Amino acid sequence: MVKRNSNIDKTLKNLSLRKEAPKSAFILLVLLYTITSFLTTRTSVMQGSIAIGDQMIKYNSFTGVFSMLGYICIICLVMLFRRVGYIVSMAAIILQFPLMIFNIFVRGNLNSLPGLFSSVLVIGAISIIHFNYKKVLNYQQSIREQAVTDRITGLPNRFACGELMADLHKRGDPFALVSIDINDFKSINDTMGHDTGDKVLREVARRWKNLANSLETGTIDFIARNSGDEFMLVISDYETADVVEDTIRAYKTELEKKITLDDCDYYLTACFGYSLFPEDNDVIDNICLYSDAALHEVKKVGSGSRLLKYSPYVLNTERTFEIERKIRTALSNNKIFFHLQPQYDMDHKLRGFEALARMKDDDDTYISPVDFIPVAEKTGLVDRIDMRVFELAMDFLDKATNERNSDVMLSVNVSVRHLMKNNFIDEIKRIISSHNVAPERIEIEITESIMIDSAEKALQRIDEIKAMGMKVAIDDFGTGYSSLSYLNNFPSDLLKIDKSFIDQMNLSESSRQYVAMIISIGHILNLKVISEGVESPEQVKVLKDIGCDYIQGYVWGKPVPPEEAAKLMESF
């Protein structure tokens, strides 16, 4: 479809053309017509009959059938192959005229007279079909042209771009898809009005179309408008991937030249994200997704080259972006809530609960904290999640102690990042003071990493937490390679052995010894020890033997909604 000397208008025309019927159909129809014409002539002069069943049918009775079949072939030729079909059909019929005229006027054989009449009638009929059908086809084509053209800029639209990519894909020709977004275009619309905005878009489209048609870039380019201020550029016929970036830069330069409209100057810039077929992926949908992801990434960064090639890293940040959006929506729609996982002593007596953040998507499906907590930490939203869960957990603890007279412990997770903030203690104090809860019933879980990353400041924070009367637990212990001296200096109360050690514990003697050693160290340092992620009674038994203090795990209880946790308290 795209040849060296092709231009966008030609390509558009090609895209909007109705697909031709195959050549083999043409040959078949001409052949059929020739055979039926021969049979028509032969049977018209044949004497005698043929026996069909017990009936004798004259040969010349078949003349009408064969001639009808011939005309059907002619009509099909005209409809399927338009101009060519019409010319060939006309020629085929007219070529028979001399013989028919010779038969009638020279030989005096009037048998050819009906044939001559019907041929004249068929010429009239196919002429009517051809010229009327042509009008319908022209109309259909103009509709198809509109369907692949953008109304404002006259450029091919997204659909046309998809067709072009499908074509390149089918032929296995490598191409680059570039997603383009004009920076701050909204401000032109807002300040100068949409008419001016449209004029600017038309000017941009004109420049880019000229550049594509000039073939100056050395590659074959196809520029299309996606929507609004977004464009798509398909670059093909390039030698190396470096050439792709040179071509993109040519479009960038063309865009950044001053645009003067109605005495006003406009200076535009844009962001470009691209991906390569088949290098990045061999599915067109993914190529589109990847170039969009690269575009979003380069837009987020804001400055710099404003040009980015897709890499798997980009897609990850795309996902991060998506989750960040979901967290923000969930925070404002109260879709952040919590579940409580019970903790027991070794006699299966309830010690308390760990509050675990839960989040629901727009469609009410759960998103795991394993997915959203790291994103929340990266984007600074974790503080708000922590505080939301803390507040809900305090509501629960308030009711548990005052209405149910229970003395359960309530553990809440706090991100290191949040803990280090100056207003952390104030926020906690504010929430606690608005509830009727005893601080010594609250336990703050902090991951072991805090001891390595920021020991000094962390120590000060933990002292403040302790001064308020709350307890401190070291979460996921064993995963962060913290030194014993740090642990010794840390005024914590509880050590939570990470699930990964509990998983291994019954698989080898050394793993069992390792857990036993952690428990001993905890006890030496005057800490209680809880094992996380305990899933089997065998693990419970071993943990009992090696002196563990508490158990938290599916074996005795999964995280449950607060209402179920309340019922659980009543049963103890």
- Residues that bind ligand C2E in the complex, under the rule CB under 6 A: 341, 356-357, 368-370, 373, 382, 385-386, 389, 413-415, 445, 475-476, 532-535, 552-554, 559
Q: CB nearer to ligand C2E: give 197 or 369.
A: 369
Amino acid at 243: V
Work out the burial of residue 53: count CB atoms within 10 Å of its CB; fewer than 13 is exposed, 13-18 middle, 19 or more buried. Answer: exposed
SS3 408: coil
148 binds, among Mg ion, ligand C2E, none (CB under 5 to 8 A by kind): none
> What is the nearest approach in angstroms of Mg ion to the Cβ of residue 474?
10
Q: CB nearer to Mg ion: give 7 or 413.
A: 413
> What is the nearest approach in angstroms of Mg ion to the Cβ of residue 565?
16
> What is the nearest approach in angstroms of ligand C2E to the Cβ of residue 315?
23
> What is the nearest approach in angstroms of Mg ion to the Cβ of residue 386?
12
Q: CA-to-CA distance for 387 and 512, rounded, in angstroms?
A: 37
70 binds, among Mg ion, ligand C2E, none (CB under 5 to 8 A by kind): none
427 binds, among Mg ion, ligand C2E, none (CB under 5 to 8 A by kind): none
Question: Which residues here bind Mg ion, judged by CB under 5 A?
Answer: 413, 445, 475-476, 532
Q: CB nearer to ligand C2E: give 38 or 554.
A: 554
382 binds, among Mg ion, ligand C2E, none (CB under 5 to 8 A by kind): ligand C2E
Q: CB nearer to ligand C2E: give 219 or 341.
A: 341
Q: CA-to-CA distance for 410 and 562, rounded, in angstroms?
A: 12
Q: CB nearer to ligand C2E: give 307 or 551.
A: 551
Q: CB nearer to ligand C2E: give 413 or 482.
A: 413
> What is the nearest approach in angstroms of ligand C2E to the Cβ of residue 348?
15
559 binds, among ligand C2E, Mg ion, none (CB under 5 to 8 A by kind): ligand C2E
Residue 479 is encoded by which pair of tokens? Answer: 């995963």
212 binds, among ligand C2E, Mg ion, none (CB under 5 to 8 A by kind): none
162 binds, among Mg ion, ligand C2E, none (CB under 5 to 8 A by kind): none
> What is the nearest approach in angstroms of ligand C2E to the Cβ of residue 411?
8
Q: CA-to-CA distance for 508 and 501, rounded, in angstroms?
A: 11
Q: CB nearer to ligand C2E: give 231 or 338.
A: 338
Q: CB nearer to ligand C2E: give 225 or 528.
A: 528
Q: CB nearer to ligand C2E: give 76 or 376.
A: 376
Q: CB nearer to ligand C2E: give 150 or 445.
A: 445
Beta strands in 123-267 (DSSP E): 175-182, 220-227, 230-236, 259-261, 264-266
Work out the burial of residue 22: count CB atoms within 10 Å of its CB; fewer than 13 is exposed, 13-18 middle, 19 or more buried. Answer: exposed
> What is the nearest approach in angstroms of Mg ion to the Cβ of residue 282?
42
> What is the nearest approach in angstroms of Mg ion to the Cβ of residue 473?
8
Place of tokens 């607060």: 562
CB crowding 524-544: b at 16 or more within 10 Å, else e: eeebbbbbbbbeeeebbebbe
Closest CA to 236 of 255, 259, 212: 212
Q: CA-to-CA distance for 129 and 85, rounded, in angstroms?
A: 12
Q: CA-to-CA distance for 156 and 163, rounded, in angstroms?
A: 10
Q: CA-to-CA distance for 256 and 49, rounded, in angstroms?
A: 86
> What is the nearest approach in angstroms of ligand C2E to the Cβ of residue 356?
4
395 binds, among ligand C2E, Mg ion, none (CB under 5 to 8 A by kind): none
Q: CA-to-CA distance for 209 and 212, rounded, in angstroms?
A: 5
478 binds, among Mg ion, ligand C2E, none (CB under 5 to 8 A by kind): none
Q: Are strands 550-552 and 336-345 parallel, antiparallel or unpaired?
A: antiparallel
Q: How many CA atoms lie within 13 A of 305 on its CB side?
A: 11
> What is the nearest approach in angstroms of ligand C2E to the Cβ of residue 344?
12
Q: CA-to-CA distance for 223 and 161, rounded, in angstroms?
A: 8
Helix (H) or strand (E) holding 367: strand 366-367
Work out the burial of residue 214: count CB atoms within 10 Å of its CB; fewer than 13 is exposed, 13-18 middle, 19 or more buried. Answer: exposed
SS3 350: strand
Q: CA-to-CA distance for 313 and 330, rounded, in angstroms?
A: 26
341 binds, among ligand C2E, Mg ion, none (CB under 5 to 8 A by kind): ligand C2E
Q: CB nearer to ligand C2E: give 181 or 476.
A: 476
Taking each helix axis from N to C end, the angle separating 194-214 and 185-192, rounded to the nearest 10 degrees, works out to: 140
> What is the nearest approach in angstroms of Mg ion to the Cβ of residue 475?
4
